[in-house]
Structure 1
Amino acid sequence: MKYFFTIYIAVFLFTTNVFSQEKVITHKVEKGEAINQIAQKYRVTPFDIYQLNPDAQRGLKPDSVLLIPSKAGAKITVVPTKINVQTQTHVVLAKETLYGIQKKYGVSDEDLKSANPFLENDGLQIGQNLTIPSKSSPKKPVSYQEKYIYHDVLAKETKYSITKQYGITIAELEKRNPEVVTSLPIGYRLVIKGTAPKIEKVAEKTTEKGAVNGQIENLKKALTVVDYVAYEVQPKETLYSLSKMFEMTQDELIALNPELVNGVEIGMLLKVPSKLQASADDKKEYMALSKKVTYDNRKRMVMLLPFNVANIESDTVNSTSNRLKKDKFLNMTLDFYAGALIAIDSAKVLGYPIDVEIYDSRETKNNSDVASIIRNKNLVNANAIIGPFYQSNAEIAAQLVGMNNVPVISPLSKDIGKPYANLYQTIPTNEAIKGAMFDYMRLKNGNIIAVVDKKKESIIQYIKQYHKQVPFVAFKENGSLSAESLKGMLVKDKMNYVVMETGNTWMIKSTVAAMVSSMPAYQVQLVILEPNETLDTDEIKFQNLTKLNLMYPSVTSDYISPEMALFEKKYRKANNIYPSDYATRGFDMTFDTMVRLVQNKSFEDTVNSAATKRGENKFEYYKKEDGGYTNKGVFILYYDTDMTIKEAH
């Protein structure tokens, strides 16, 4: 406690010194208050508040105290200009420093101490009267700091309210900010007084060829159109962590996504630069790593699986069989384990030099034995750890073994989580799944058309913001699909991909009918981005879906490959039942990890150099901007005319 108190005082003193140059006020949070309400009250942005109160990004607690920058909505930037003024005095206030006073009046340390000799011996004292030397008499010219003021537009603000605040006219505001004559975007930085720094114009004439080429290159860069993609906000993410992830300032991120002014919410779709997506040139090659096995030294692989045996043994109400019937999480764990055992046995048959250790992680969402197992079993010396199942526990494991860069492979969670460099997320995110579908259609140079139900607002927003070139098929006044509109968007000599997102049976039937009737003259293919249960009903003819080669993205393959058939045979022999998706994943993930461990390079090197496909799952890892790895291995599947599901190539 004493140590904590010392640290707290040190931090407090440091904070006090930092803000001594800028006035701040405090605000006590009332129950139900939101960050945007507080920001508007004090005429600052939520970002300004978050800068002084980083913890506020996790949510506001009633009765907590926030530091508010006393800026009244305006930020002041100093621009030096030379000017002569008469000698004046200054009364030293609390928390002021010599440096701050010198900067305020634009005088040097030498001149200030020369005019106030007592400063050499007594130092700066509260209440002292300082003589500020005249700027007309110093030996060297001294600059005076002239202010210009700007204002960041907040939600619900108008030109009228802003001009009233600063005592200027709307005409003056528009003259200084011609970009806002027609609109007033939230987050836009207005110049209120003074003149903002100008960008020097490039000379129109030059005699040097190199200079001309340089200007042309700069012009090309300036005209480069940035492509954007959608990113879904994950739990625990903040404005700060998002800005770091996307290599942007928080202001730039808010400018692209004005809704962030009201705070970060889980599930928000953000507009971010597409450079974070793997381009076609960056796509990894799928390779059979099993051909490059090295047998030189043995590897140690550890599995941390949540059997929670102690809970089963202490359950006096339910028998083991009854618990298995009720406990879905335990069934999932056992299925994964059963698949993993077959992978371990297969590796043993192949002679892979790997020692496998399996421990009961005894985990729930908020608790586990992970830390004690890592400590007691010395897992910092392991070569790879599969598990734990819960994201929070996988993060604990990654942190504890991070010093040795031990890979921690998260089997089932697709949460983005904290950016640990040695944490590997094996489930592709929803963003990666939809992105893979659009990447495929563009790779095939297809003509993409959207038929989206008005109820699918998130899909409409996604396409409008991140795939602006994709047109939407029109609807009639009665709300039904316009077949004429759809057919009018079809293009000859090119595959026309119709992206259909609706749960409405009539809309599906009318879309399918319009596409089928167009087939004699056009190439058409039906596409969905998310699972659609309505397509499985008797009202939708399966023959039409196969005729249109219904295509969709999927984390797992829905067809039986030769490798999958072999695994199913082994699994049925060992367990007398067909494997579930969790059992298949247990096999695929465990076997893929073991194959990567026996290569003549580190696990991370194999991830960076090659992608793999195992049975029902792909493992195409990419390094995230903020650290760690995410899997973008997605199948593009379609219904063939022979009534089977196949992978599109």
Structure 2
Amino acid sequence: MGIMVKKVIFSILSFGFFFLGLLTLQAQQKYTTHAVEKGETLYSIAKKYKVTPASILKQNPEIKNKEEIKPNTILVISLSGATQVTDSKNLTDNKVEQEVKPIGYTRHKVRKKETLFGITQEYKITEDQLKRYNKRLYAEPLQKGMVLQIPKYAEVVEDEETDIAFLTYTVQPKETRWSIANKYGITIDSLLSLNPELPKNTAYLSVGQTLKLPRPKGDSLKEQQVGLFESYTVPKSIGIFRISQNYGISVDSVITLNPEIKELGGLKEGMVLRLPKKQPTKGVVNTDNYIFYQVKPKQTVFNLTQNLKISRDSLFALNPELENGLKAGMVLKLPRLKENQLQVKNALVIDQINLLDSIKVENKPNLMFLLPFRIDRIDFNNTSQTENQLTKRKDMSIAMGMYTGAMVAIDSMKRRGISVNVKVFDTEMSEEKVRSIMETQSLYGIDAIVGPIAPKLISTVAATASQSNVPVIVPFASDNDLNFNNVFYTVPHDSILRNRILEKVAEMRKDEQIIVIADAKHNTAKEAIIKKFPKARVAKMSKDGSLHLVDFKAMLSKYVPNWVFVETEDDNLAASLVSIVNSSNLNDAIGPKIKVKMFTTNYNNAFEGEDISRPHLGNLEFTFPSPYKINGDRTFSRAYEKMYGIEPDRYAVRGYDITMDLLLKLAYKKNLFETAKFIGQTEYSGNKFDYYNKFTAGYFNKATYLLEYNDDLYIKEVK
């Protein structure tokens, strides 16, 4: 009995000492257990406990590799490694703090009642740092009048925050500086500060260009919550860069979230990564969907709703950041539909400037005109021959029209107090002559060159003028791909005119049937129409280039109106098509009237030929885009007739409008490149101008007219 009692007591004591030893060991080693749950991996468990995968395998020798980690497996986790890492980091941090050297010093004279604490707070240093560079403070108290040496330290930013506070953004198609600034809730000035390589003299961004941007609020790792993450198993043949792109975060952020990538020497197939859940995709913020407005100082929400023609509720719904207050520099987004009600330039709404009210008389514009007067061909002793040449030679007619119209504009500006200096040269349509002019004439002080007219001469002038940063104004259309950023093309490109009419037709259309008649040379226009209206029907053309009449007649609908696009530059074909289409616009003998309206995306000389019936065009309500207004303002016509005794032709109207536009802009600010940034559409007697910058390619006019024939053969503007 006694022996049994002793054995029992010995066993209890032995177990007690063993248990006490185990507790002591656990207290020293800091172990815990973990029941593996479904979806967990060796890497995710190691990350959870801040240990390495190798340490888990070491403490659980029965687990040979990561594949043996199964649900409900009980693992022993040593936490001492994590503690040691933390301690090591703290020691390292302390060591770094001791080694930090001041970048400079400032002097401070102690004032009455100042304390060590107050001084350290004022200069954002510790008491130890203050005493280290003022040894006397170790031995004596702070006294009034003491002069202290205050160390200055470089601002220390945590490495992690530096890595994740910003992201690299790739510019997408149709995005602008304004749309990106709005998307990330920053001002244009902030965007430029973050990206100093962006040019200041243009708002141009190229697709694929990378920008540094602040990471959106709630996107940095410190602000993420566990619920915002998901597990991602790395498949075969995928890199860390592609993963970062797919999740919209930086490579550094992927590594920060998953340190095992570094520990194991890189990304491995089968790794389970912790990545932020993809948020629901919001509407893309680009120039297809929105236009933008930059808030000016002293503006109010009420001012904005009035000026931008939008309700307060709509403005706040599109720009929820307004709930935190309106601030100067904010970029607000507006519906694209507002574009027709506002002045918009490069997707940015601009404040209207009245140039006539903004004239500065101290500005004295200096212009140079390069026009083909062809004086070398004129015999001034033979009056009848000269008159005949001026009538028949197109180059002379253009030059005289442009010049006389420009003189009316200059006279008008002089009566407003603006002194204008003009140099005029005859190009003789000769490249050698133009080169001689550009080599011998100083461009110092010249604000703009108007001309030349011939496309082949433009590059010679543009190249020389670009060296002096002088704008070259091209009066008529040019298809030359010059790539000079100092050239202003005053005539809208065919693609701009085409897009204008297609957008208007799409806006007006309800259930009308679209039919396209296009010759072989106008496939580009035909394809553009079909792209805009996929259900459009294309009329067949015969081998000889004429319309397949039977096929066309069969296409016409008696139940909905027929809108027919006619695309050709052939005079005979145009006359024939106008006649055929008009004949279809009559009462059918056995049914309802077939309604036909005619359009073209390219109004050219073929539609002005002698064989074209104007009454037919009126019947068809023929509608087309145009770079100029056919029935111009009478104010200029009266001034021209008063000066020259005859009515102006369209070249004189163009000369007046181009020159008036130049002089008013230069009288406001003597730099056309600057005014092009913020002055929107301007309109004069028969032309309007609204330039956009294509970076190295120059400035292009996008202002167009939509015109329509009516029953009384008057051509009216379609608003």
TM-score (norm 2): 0.46
1:497 and 1:206 map into 2 onto residues whose CA distance is: 60
Contact 2:364 2:421 in 1 (8 A): no
Report the 3-state secondary structure (helix = DSSP H, G, I; strand = E; otherwise coil) of the residue aligned with 2:534: coil
1:640 and 1:516 map into 2 onto residues whose CA distance is: 17
Residue 530 of structure 1: which of 589, 595, 602 is its match? Answer: 602
1:575 correspondence with 2:640: no
Structure-2 change in CA distance of 1:646 and 1:590 (3 Å): same
2:576 and 2:377 map into 1 onto residues whose CA distance is: 50
Report the 3-state secondary structure (helix = DSSP H, G, I; strand = E; otherwise coil) of the residue aligned with 1:212: coil
Map Cα deviations across residues 376-420 of structure 1 (whole Å, 9 max, x no partner).
442132122212223343333332232442211122342333111
Map of 1:401 onto structure 2: 465
Map of 2:566 onto structure 1: 500
Map Cα deviations across residues 256-304 of structure 1 (whole Å, 9 max, x no partner).
xxxxxxxxxxxxxxxxxxxxxx999569898652222222332322223
Map of 2:309 onto structure 1: none
Map Cα deviations across residues 39-64 of structure 1 (whole Å, 9 max, x no partner).
xxxxxxxxxxxxxxxxxxxxxxxxxx
Map of 2:400 onto structure 1: 334
Contact 1:299 1:383 in 2 (8 A): yes
Report the 3-state secondary structure (helix = DSSP H, G, I; strand = E; otherwise coil) of the residue aligned with 2:362: coil
Map of 1:18 onto structure 2: none
1:629 correspondence with 2:710: no
1:358 correspondence with 2:358: no
Structure-2 change in CA distance of 1:501 and 1:309 (3 Å): closer
Contact 2:375 2:426 in 1 (8 A): no
Contact 1:395 1:417 in 2 (8 A): no
Map Cα deviations across residues 134-180 of structure 1 (whole Å, 9 max, x no partner).
xxxxxxxxxxxxxxxxxxxxxxxxxxxxxxxxxxxxxxxxxxxxxxx
1:294 correspondence with 2:360: yes
Structure-2 change in CA distance of 1:306 and 1:380 (3 Å): farther
Structure-2 change in CA distance of 1:452 and 1:283 (3 Å): farther
Map of 1:451 onto structure 2: 516
Higher relative contact order (CA 8 A, sep 6+): 1
1:471 correspondence with 2:536: yes
2:482 and 2:355 map into 1 onto residues whose CA distance is: 30
Higher mean alpha-carbon deviation, 198-207 vs 497-506, is at 198-207
In structure 1, list runs of 5 or more residues that go unmatched: 1-195, 227-277
1:568 shift after superposition: 1.7
Residue 590 of structure 1: which of 637, 653, 659 is its match? Answer: 659
Map Cα deviations across residues 564-594 of structure 1 (whole Å, 9 max, x no partner).
x122222223333222221111111111111
1:386 correspondence with 2:450: yes
1:310 shift after superposition: 4.6
Map of 1:349 onto structure 2: 415
Map of 1:613 onto structure 2: 683
1:485 shift after superposition: 2.9
The structure whose Rg is larger is 2
Map Cα deviations across residues 499-523 of structure 1 (whole Å, 9 max, x no partner).
2346266654453354555998998
Map of 2:621 onto structure 1: 549
1:640 correspondence with 2:710: yes
2:350 and 2:586 map into 1 onto residues whose CA distance is: 36
Report the 3-state secondary structure (helix = DSSP H, G, I; strand = E; otherwise coil) of the residue aligned with 2:564: strand
For 2:629, the aligned partner's letter is: S
Map of 1:268 onto structure 2: none
Contact 1:498 1:526 in 2 (8 A): yes
1:577 and 1:521 map into 2 onto residues whose CA distance is: 46
Report the 3-state secondary structure (helix = DSSP H, G, I; strand = E; otherwise coil) of the residue aligned with 2:427: coil
Contact 2:623 2:706 in 1 (8 A): yes
Report the 3-state secondary structure (helix = DSSP H, G, I; strand = E; otherwise coil) of the residue aligned with 1:380: coil
Structure-2 change in CA distance of 1:539 and 1:516 (3 Å): farther
Structure-2 change in CA distance of 1:489 and 1:387 (3 Å): farther
Map Cα deviations across residues 105-150 of structure 1 (whole Å, 9 max, x no partner).
xxxxxxxxxxxxxxxxxxxxxxxxxxxxxxxxxxxxxxxxxxxxxx
Structure-2 change in CA distance of 1:302 and 1:552 (3 Å): same
1:407 and 1:637 map into 2 onto residues whose CA distance is: 31
2:509 and 2:473 map into 1 onto residues whose CA distance is: 36
1:413 and 1:507 map into 2 onto residues whose CA distance is: 27
Map Cα deviations across residues 48-100 of structure 1 (whole Å, 9 max, x no partner).
xxxxxxxxxxxxxxxxxxxxxxxxxxxxxxxxxxxxxxxxxxxxxxxxxxxxx
1:622 and 1:489 map into 2 onto residues whose CA distance is: 43
Map of 2:501 onto structure 1: 437
1:434 shift after superposition: 2.0
Structure-2 change in CA distance of 1:481 and 1:505 (3 Å): farther
Structure-2 change in CA distance of 1:367 and 1:510 (3 Å): same
1:282 and 1:515 map into 2 onto residues whose CA distance is: 43
Report the 3-state secondary structure (helix = DSSP H, G, I; strand = E; otherwise coil) of the residue aligned with 1:379: coil
For 1:469, the aligned partner's letter is: P
1:628 shift after superposition: 0.8
Q: How does 1:169-248 map onto structure 2 within 5 Å?
A: 210-213=276-279
Structure-2 change in CA distance of 1:206 and 1:597 (3 Å): farther
For 2:638, the aligned partner's letter is: K
1:541 and 1:639 map into 2 onto residues whose CA distance is: 12
Contact 2:451 2:458 in 1 (8 A): yes
Structure-2 change in CA distance of 1:630 and 1:448 (3 Å): farther
1:412 correspondence with 2:476: yes
1:325 and 1:366 map into 2 onto residues whose CA distance is: 24
1:297 and 1:402 map into 2 onto residues whose CA distance is: 22
1:538 and 1:357 map into 2 onto residues whose CA distance is: 40
Pairs aligned (count): 389
1:205 and 1:511 map into 2 onto residues whose CA distance is: 69
Report the 3-state secondary structure (helix = DSSP H, G, I; strand = E; otherwise coil) of the residue aligned with 1:360: strand
1:324 and 1:542 map into 2 onto residues whose CA distance is: 28
1:323 and 1:541 map into 2 onto residues whose CA distance is: 30
1:544 and 1:205 map into 2 onto residues whose CA distance is: 74
For 1:358, the aligned partner's letter is: K
